[in-house]
């Protein structure tokens, strides 16, 4: 059992069963850990459910923190043909729903023939990742195909200094026009943002503004992946604090993946085994159609890059050094690439700070949601 304390109150928490018990500070209950009522541990099943298809690594933008533009990846300059896209789409159709086909790049709208084939085959299971600058002319077709369109924007214009065209011009205006055009055409739309050193302290405020302004179906708020050129670290504690602040918004609990995917295990009492889909939930395809687990690790010639066991053996639930962590059940291990480039090869050290901070914030948030303000050894709280 793990113990957390705030003014006047204590919570005991079991990291594996997610049982939690709240008590008044100073009461006998606050000093002695309870006996868990639950003896079984439920782990979220891990199965292949996602195809990530890189239709081209070419792009009309060169964003400062882009993991494609700022790293050396195989098959730079390659473009997927529609026949290759059709073969991948047929393989995807054999996956049991739910699941998603991610259409990515580079900028996938630079390769519309392959993008169209994949989007048509995937229907509402298709997800297009785009910088938005070419979106307006394809918005009506994507709406007809029921594709979820995720546009990269970091907030209002002043927060997008890192997003620019290849020639250095800012891309914000064209991206925003593309987003609005897609929404007006009837597309399902979302936003993807990246925290920056100069923006991380106001992420929650920016997210609230963007939500009220553009009403995205998904609103991603990511830390930057490691890049070989121009990497600017972002303080993980500040980032986590901003997510904790934002998590009190009901809409954010639904649409911000970085919150929803960590909060859901507490509500459902199901351990989160995997956060990086490279550990068995995703196949990635190069423009040539070649299948891999991670193009980024391929790019540095990592000797274990193609071995699924390598990633699964490093998950928190398989790592003795993680088993005593209170946040082990909501973590999932983070990005395999960032673990190699920023950590010891087993985990991204930023994830430890983020998950431990969010866990405590979530426990008190759930407490505050409880009607009646239960005190002492009342009952196990299940949401």
User: In 206-227, which positions are buried (b, 16+ CB within 10 angstroms) versus exposed (e)?
Assistant: bbeebbeebebebbbbebbbbb
Cβ neighbours, 10 Å, residue 312 = 17
Q: Is 321 exposed, middle or buried (0-12, 13-18, 19+ CB in 10 A)?
A: exposed
Q: Which helix (H) or strand (E) holds 145?
A: helix 139-145
State pTM to two decimals. 0.92
**Residue 285 placed within a domain:** yes
The residues pairing with 23 across neighbouring beta strands, listed in sequence order, are 10
Q: Which tens digit of pLDDT belongs to each residue from 130-157? A: 999 999 999 999 999 999 999 999 999 9
Tokens coding 171: 């891309």
Domain count, the chain: 1
Dmax over Cα atoms in the chain, in whole Å? 69
Is residue 353 included in any domain, yes or no?
no
d(CA 289, CA 293): 13
> Residues 362, 243: contact at Cβ < 8 Å?
no
| CATH number reported for the structural domain that contains residue 232 in this entry | 3.20.20.70
Please determine, for residue 55, whether its predicted confidence score (pLDDT) is greater than 80: yes
Distance CA 380, CA 372 (A): 14
Question: For residue 374, what pLDDT band results from cuts at 50, 70 and 90?
Answer: very low
Q: Is a pLDDT exceeding 90 seen at residue 352? A: yes
Residue 254: domain span = 50-311
Straight-line distance from the first to the last Cα atom of the chain, in angstroms, rounded to the nearest whole number:
19
Residue 25 lies in a domain: no
Q: Residue 271 domain-assigned?
A: yes
Structural domain includes residue 248: yes
- pLDDT band per the 50, 70, 90 thresholds, residue 340: confident
**What confidence score (pLDDT) does residue 98 get?**
84
Tell which residue, 269, 207, 191, has the closest CA to residue 244: 207
Tokens of 370: 């409880």
126 assigned to some structural domain: yes
Quick one: pLDDT at residue 376? 34
75 vs 376, higher pLDDT: 75
Q: What are 222's strand-pairing partners?
A: 194
Distance CA 63, CA 162 (A): 5
Question: Residue 175: is its pLDDT beyond 80?
Answer: yes
The CA-atom distances, in angstroms, between 12 and each of 261, 324, 356 are: 22, 15, 15
Q: Which residue, 207, 203, 204, is CA-closest to 190?
A: 207
- Look at phi and psi of residue 220 and say left if phi exceeds 0, alpha if psi is from -120 to 50, else beta: beta
- Residue that the structure tokens 């077709």 belong to: 141
Q: Which residue has the higher pLDDT, 90 or 316?
A: 90
Matching residue, tokens 């990592």: 302
- Compute CA 161 distance to the chain's CA centroid, rounded to the nearest angstrom: 22
108 in a structural domain: yes
Euclidean distance between CA atoms 292 and 150, whole angstroms = 23
pLDDT value at 170 more than 50? yes
* pLDDT attached to residue 309: 67
Establish if 360 belongs to a structural domain: no
Q: Contact, 299 vs 305, CB < 8 A? A: no
HSE on the CB side for 56, CA within 13 Å? 19
pLDDT, residue 308, reads: 66
Q: Given a cut of 50, is residue 381 above it in pLDDT? A: no
**Residues β-bridged to residue 24:** 9
């Amino acid at each position: 059992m793990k113990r957390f304390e705030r003014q006047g109150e204590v919570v005991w928490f079991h990291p594996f069963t997610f049982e939690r018990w709240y008590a008044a500070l100073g009461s006998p209950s606050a000093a002695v850990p309870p006996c868990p009522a639950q003896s079984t541990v439920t782990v979220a099943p891990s199965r292949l459910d996602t195809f990530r298809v890189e239709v081209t690594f070419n792009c009309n933008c060169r964003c400062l923190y882009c993991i494609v533009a700022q790293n050396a990846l195989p098959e730079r300059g390659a473009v997927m043909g529609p026949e290759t896209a059709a073969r991948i789409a047929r393989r995807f159709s054999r996956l049991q729903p739910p699941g998603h086909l991610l259409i990515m790049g580079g900028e996938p709208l630079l390769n519309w023939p392959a993008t169209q084939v994949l989007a048509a085959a995937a229907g509402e299971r298709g997800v297009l990742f785009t910088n938005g600058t070419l979106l307006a002319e394809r918005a009506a077709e994507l709406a007809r195909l029921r594709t979820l369109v995720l546009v990269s924007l970091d907030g209002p214009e002043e927060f997008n200094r890192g997003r620019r065209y290849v020639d250095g011009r800012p891309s914000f205006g064209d991206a925003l026009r593309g987003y609005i055009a897609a929404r007006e055409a009837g597309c399902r739309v979302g936003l993807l943002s990246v925290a920056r050193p100069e923006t991380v302290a106001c992420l929650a405020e920016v997210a609230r503004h963007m939500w009220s302004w553009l009403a995205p179906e998904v609103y991603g708020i990511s830390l930057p992946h490691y890049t070989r050129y121009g990497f600017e670290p972002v303080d993980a504690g500040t980032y986590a604090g901003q997510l904790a602040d934002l998590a009190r918004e009901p809409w954010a609990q639904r649409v911000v993946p970085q919150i929803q995917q960590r909060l859901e295990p507490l509500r459902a009492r199901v351990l989160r085994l995997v956060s990086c889909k490279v550990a068995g939930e995703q196949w990635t395809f190069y423009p040539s159609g070649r299948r891999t687990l991670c193009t980024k690790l391929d790019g540095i010639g990592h000797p274990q890059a193609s071995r699924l066991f390598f990633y699964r053996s490093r998950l928190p639930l398989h790592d003795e050094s993680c088993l005593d962590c209170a946040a082990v059940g909501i973590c999932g291990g983070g990005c395999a690439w960032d673990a190699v480039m920023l950590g010891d090869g087993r985990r991204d050290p930023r994830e430890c700070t983020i998950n431990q901070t969010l866990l405590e914030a979530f426990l008190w948030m759930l407490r505050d949601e409880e009607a009646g303000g239960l005190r002492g050894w009342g009952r196990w709280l299940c949401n």
